[in-house]
Structure 1
Amino acid sequence: MTFDWTAAWDALPQLLDGLVVALWATVLGYVLALVLGLAFALLRRTERAWLRLPVGFVVEFIRSTPLLVQLFFLFFVLPAVGIELSPLATGAIGLGVHYATYTSEVYRAGIDGVPAGQWEAAKSLSLSRGRTWTRVVLPQAVPRVVPALGNYAIAMFKDTPQLTVVTVAEVLSVVKAVGAQNFRYLELITVAGVLYLAAALLIAWPVRALERRYRKETA
C-alpha cells in the first residue's frame, strides 16, 4: 500500500478540528482535576470521619475503575435519572473527576512535605485553621508539586481518544468517520499520530520548564 499524500492533506482540516476538541476537553478536564483534587486532598485530612471516610471511598473507587467505564456511566446511565450532558461536557467531567483522584495524591504529598515546624509556628501565632491552610501550608505545598501536576496534563491529553466512545468529535473519532468513507486509514492514522505527538510535546514544554525552575530553586 502506497502513502496517499492527497488523502492525508484533504483530511488535515477535519483532523485539526478534532485536535482542537481534544485540547478543549483536556483544558476543561484539567482545571476540574486541579480544583476537585485539592478538595479531595483537604477533605481526606479533616478530623470529621463522616466526611473523610466517604471521600476516601469515592477517591479509591474512581481510581480503581477504568476511565472507559466511568465515561459510559456518565453518558448512558445518568440520562436514565434525568441528567443529560453534551458529549464534550461528559468527556471533560469524566477526565476531570478521574484525574482528580490522582492529583489529590499529589497534593497530599506536597502537604505532607511541609515541615512540622510550620504547623507549630502557625499554631503558636494563634492562626485559625483556615488561615493556616491558605497563608502557611498551601503556599508552600502547591509549588512543590506543580511539575507532577503538569505531567497529568500530558497523561490526560493522551487519554482523550477514549472520548470517542461518548461521541466526542476528537481526532480518533474523525479518523473513524473519514476512514469509513475513503478507507485510507494508513494516512489518517499517521497524520493523527503526528498531531498527537506535536500537541503532547507542546504541552510538555512548559511542564519541563517548571521542573527545571523548581530544581534550581531547591538546589
Structure 2
Amino acid sequence: MIWDNEVAREVWPRLMGGLQITVKVTLLATAIALLFGLLLAMLQRSRRPAVRRVSYWVLESIRRTPLLIQLFFAFYVLPEMGIMLDGMVCGVIVLGLHVGSYMAEVYRAGIDAVPKGQWEAARALNLTPRATWVSVILPQAIPPMVPALGNYFVMMFKESALLSTIAVLDLMGEARLFANETYRYIEPMTLVGLIFLAISIPSAIALRYLENRIAKSDRLSA
C-alpha cells in the first residue's frame, strides 16, 4: 500500500512540534522584516546622497541573491569569520532581512502615495523629521499597505521551509528527519504540503477580504 495510516499517525506529533517552530520563526522574522523594510524605505528618501546610495546597494545586494545562498553564507561562512549563530537565530535574521528588502518597496509605494501637501504642511508647522514621519506620514501611508505586507507574511511562512537546510527542526525539518530515519517520504511530505495549504489558503482569502474592505473604505471616503 502506498499510503500508510500508521506512519502518518506516527509522524503527526513531530510535525505539530515542527509547526510551532515554523510559526515562531515566521512571527519573529516578520517583526524584523517590517522594521528593516521601513528603515530602508526611509533611508531611500534621505537628503544625503551617500545614505541613499548605501541603502540602495544594500537593498539590491539582498534582492539579487537567492535566499538559500544567504542562509548558507550566514550559517556556514560567518562562523569562519568568528560569528557564530544558532540555526534558528540565523534563519530568523536572514529570512527577516531578505523579505524586508521586498517590503521596502511596499513601504516606498505607500509613502509616495501620501499627498505632497502633507509634507509641505509638516514643514510649515516646523515639525521635526521624526514628528513628520510618526505623526503625519506613516499613519496615512501604512493602512493601505497592510494587504501587500500580509502577502509577504504568507510568503515568509512558506519560505521558512528552507530553514530545514541549516538544521532547523521546523515543519519541513521534522518531515525530512523522519523520512531519513524511516525511508518513508510520502506520508510526511504529503502532510507537510497539506499543512502549508491549510494555513496559506485561508490567510490569502483573509488578506483578499481585507484588501477589498480597505478599497471600499477608500471609495466611500473619496
Q: How high is the TM-score relative to the length of structure 1?
A: 0.95
Match in the other structure for 1:52 = 52
Q: Are the aligned partners of 1:153 and 1:203 in contact in 2 as well (CA < 8 Å)? A: no
Q: What code does the residue aligned with 1:130 have? A: R
State the Cα deviation string for residues 124-159 of structure 1 (Å, max 9, x = none). Answer: 222222211111111101111111000000001111
Q: Are the aligned partners of 1:171 and 1:192 in contact in 2 as well (CA < 8 Å)? A: yes
Looking at structure 2, the residues matched to 2 and 57 of structure 1 have their Cα atoms a distance apart, in angstroms, of 50
Match in the other structure for 2:150 = 150
Q: What code does the residue aligned with 1:148 have? A: A
Looking at structure 2, the residues matched to 103 and 188 of structure 1 have their Cα atoms a distance apart, in angstroms, of 32
Match in the other structure for 1:204 = 204
In the TM superposition, 1:94-173 aligns within 5 A as: 94-173=94-173
Percent identical: 43
Match in the other structure for 1:27 = 27
Looking at structure 1, the residues matched to 109 and 130 of structure 2 have their Cα atoms a distance apart, in angstroms, of 20
Match in the other structure for 2:42 = 42
Match in the other structure for 1:86 = 86
State the Cα deviation string for residues 62-103 of structure 1 (Å, max 9, x = none). Answer: 001000010011101111122111111111111100011101
Q: Are the aligned partners of 1:33 and 1:100 in contact in 2 as well (CA < 8 Å)? A: yes
Q: Are the aligned partners of 1:59 and 1:101 in contact in 2 as well (CA < 8 Å)? A: yes
Q: Are the aligned partners of 1:99 and 1:156 in contact in 2 as well (CA < 8 Å)? A: yes
Looking at structure 2, the residues matched to 70 and 181 of structure 1 have their Cα atoms a distance apart, in angstroms, of 28
Looking at structure 1, the residues matched to 112 and 191 of structure 2 have their Cα atoms a distance apart, in angstroms, of 44
Q: Are the aligned partners of 1:41 and 1:107 in contact in 2 as well (CA < 8 Å)? A: yes
CA RMSD of aligned residues (A): 1.4
Q: Are the aligned partners of 1:71 and 1:90 in contact in 2 as well (CA < 8 Å)? A: yes
Give how far 1:210 is off. Answer: 2.6
Match in the other structure for 2:10 = 10
Looking at structure 2, the residues matched to 67 and 5 of structure 1 have their Cα atoms a distance apart, in angstroms, of 35
State the Cα deviation string for residues 172-191 of structure 1 (Å, max 9, x = none). Answer: 22122111222221111111
Q: Count residues in correspondence.
A: 219
Structure 1 residue ranges without an equivalent (≥5): none
Looking at structure 2, the residues matched to 27 and 203 of structure 1 have their Cα atoms a distance apart, in angstroms, of 14
Match in the other structure for 2:72 = 72
State the Cα deviation string for residues 195-215 of structure 1 (Å, max 9, x = none). Answer: 111222354354334313312
Equivalent residue of 1:159, what SS? helix
Looking at structure 2, the residues matched to 173 and 17 of structure 1 have their Cα atoms a distance apart, in angstroms, of 11
